[in-house]
Amino acid sequence: MTSPLPGQAPDGQAARPLGVAMIGYAFMGKAHSAAWRTVGSHFDVPRIARRVVVGRDAARTAEAAERYGWEGSATDWREAIHRDDVDIVDICTPGYLHADIAIEALKAGKHVLVEKPLSNTIAEGTEMVAAAVDARRHGIQSMVGFNYRRVPALAHARDLIAAGRLGAIRQLRVAYLQDWLTDADAPMTWRLRKETAGSGALGDIASHALDQVQFLTGEAVTEVSGRLRTFVEERPGPDGREPVTVDDAAWITAELSGGAIATVEVSRVATGVKNGLRIEVFGDHGALRFDLENLNELWFMEATGPATEQGFRRILVSEPEHPYLAAWWPQGHIIGWEHTFTHQLRDFLTSIRTGDAPRPSFEDGLQIQRVLAAVEESAAAKSAVVQIGSADHAQP
């Protein structure tokens, strides 16, 4: 008889809580902490214990642990993930560390949640997928953090599309616009150097946009034409002006496996737009619209019934029947951006309980990396179309 995996209690026996180690405590660590603190009060998930936060600076990591409600802190991520009371490793570090930590954790039999993008290189991503596939055979789950799949309005959008309510999808228009780099005097950071960040708006926010394109339609991007632009070519660094070596904005025209065409435009210099992930989907008998700045709303149009009564309707996605919403507040009482992470944990923990592999998988994450690489290749070749290579590992 095999002993149950953590989170899967045998009949009649209380499971011990799933211990969590979180690596990294900056922006994403803060958001993930809020989700770990909250998920069990609103969703029926396996109990968890917030064991340890890992960071490089001992004092600041300890302070983060205290502030965000973790039992302890540590500076050695390897040690932390090998702890017996740790069952889940939540990776919130910069991308260049993802592969090492995730692979080590999976090999140690720990469930892994890793922030997007999966990795900075295709090579690393490919290794990560191999480790995930191997671990999955032993019931060890892995997932990449495209949290916007857990926006209730977008989950609802996907359901409507999957149910055929839009008909055959023809066009998607996706933009992810921010403006925090608008000012040419905003200082140089590691995010603006290719060697540390990999890319600019492309990896940071086009990755989200492309994941949505595929998530909403259930289709894969098969070819892309791309263009990249760095509008502010130098920024003030500690030792004077430095070249910016990543893109400020990217433009993508993509064909999907089902024949639809999607455009993706992303920018971090779109003056006046703060966090505008905007999505439009047009099918042959319906359409949808969404904007992350009003993430509780979904606009839905059905080209049925009398023409005199057709129009985009604003659905306030806050009914108990809407995805994830039964856990929250009465209708009309909106939820915030942070709960995309709470919902992500709800699904991740549920997959640990049930043994069903969660999505987006590492394969999904790698496929997005392949699309991003193809965009860069196209941009370097005067925007000529580039095909997306098929993935090495089929998705289960």
Regarding 222 and contact with a second copy (CB under 8 A), the answer is no
Candidates 78, 189, 274, 355; binder of a second copy (CB under 8 A) is: 274
**Which tokens hold the place of 58?**
């001992």
Nearer to a second copy, 84 or 321 (CB): 321
Q: Is position 293 an interface residue for a second copy (rule: CB under 8 A)? A: yes
Structure tokens at 208: 């989200």
Phi, psi of 360 (to 5 degrees): -75, 130
Applying CB under 8 A, which of residues 82, 83, 170, 194 lies at the interface with a second copy? 170
60 lies in the site for a second copy, by CB under 8 A = no
Listed ranges 108-116, 190-198, 334-342, 362-370: which one lies at the site for a second copy (CB under 8 A): 334-342
Tell whether residue 284 is a contact of a second copy (CB under 8 A).
yes
Q: Which residues of 144-173 are buried (b: 16+ CB within 10 A; e: fewer)?
A: bbbbbbbbbbbbbbbebbeeebbeebeebe
Maximum distance among all Cα pairs of the chain, rounded to whole angstroms: 66
Choose one: 49-57, 102-110, 177-185, 349-357; the region binding a second copy (CB under 8 A). 177-185
DSSP 390: P
Residue among 316, 322, 325, 274 nearest 295 (CA):
316
CB of 210 to a second copy, least distance (A): 16
Q: Work out whether 173 is an interface residue with a second copy (CB under 8 A).
A: yes
Binding test (CB under 8 A) with a second copy, winner from 184, 187, 258, 380: 184
Nearest distance in Å: CB 205, a second copy:
12
Q: Does 272 bind a second copy (CB under 8 A)?
A: yes
Q: How far is CA 333 from the centre of its chain?
A: 25
Full DSSP string of 164-222: TTT-SEEEEEEEEE--TT-STTSPP-GGG-HHHHSSSHIIIIIHHHHHHHHHHHS--EE
Q: Is 34 among the residues that bind a second copy (CB under 8 A)?
A: yes
Residue nearer to a second copy on the CB measure, 107 or 241: 241
309: contact with a second copy by CB under 8 A:
yes
Q: Which stretch binds a second copy (CB under 8 A): 3-11, 86-94, 172-180, 344-352?
A: 172-180
* CA end-to-end distance (rounded Å), the chain: 26
Q: Is the Cβ of residue 124 or residue 248 nearer to a second copy in the bound state?
A: 248
C-alpha dist (Å) from residue 316 to 167, 264, 302, 331, 370: 23, 25, 17, 8, 35
Q: Is 68 in the site for a second copy (CB under 8 A)?
A: yes
Nearest distance in Å: CB 306, a second copy: 7
Residues 233-252 that bind a second copy (CB under 8 A): 249, 251
CB-based contact 257:226 (threshold 8 Å): no
Q: Supply the minimum distance, in Å, between the C-beta of residue 22 and a second copy.
A: 13
Residue 259 or 396 having the CB closest to a second copy: 259
Query: Comparing C-alpha atoms, which of 382, 373, 178, 133 is closest to residue 268?
Result: 178
Q: Given strand 111-115, what is the order of strands in its sheet?
A: 72-74, 48-54, 18-23, 88-91, 111-115, 142-145
| Residue 336 contacts a second copy per CB under 8 A | yes
Token output for 39: 């998920």
- Contacts with a second copy by CB under 8 A: the residue count is 90
Q: By CB under 8 A, is residue 180 in contact with a second copy? A: yes
154 binds a second copy (CB under 8 A): no
Position 377 contacts a second copy (CB under 8 A): no
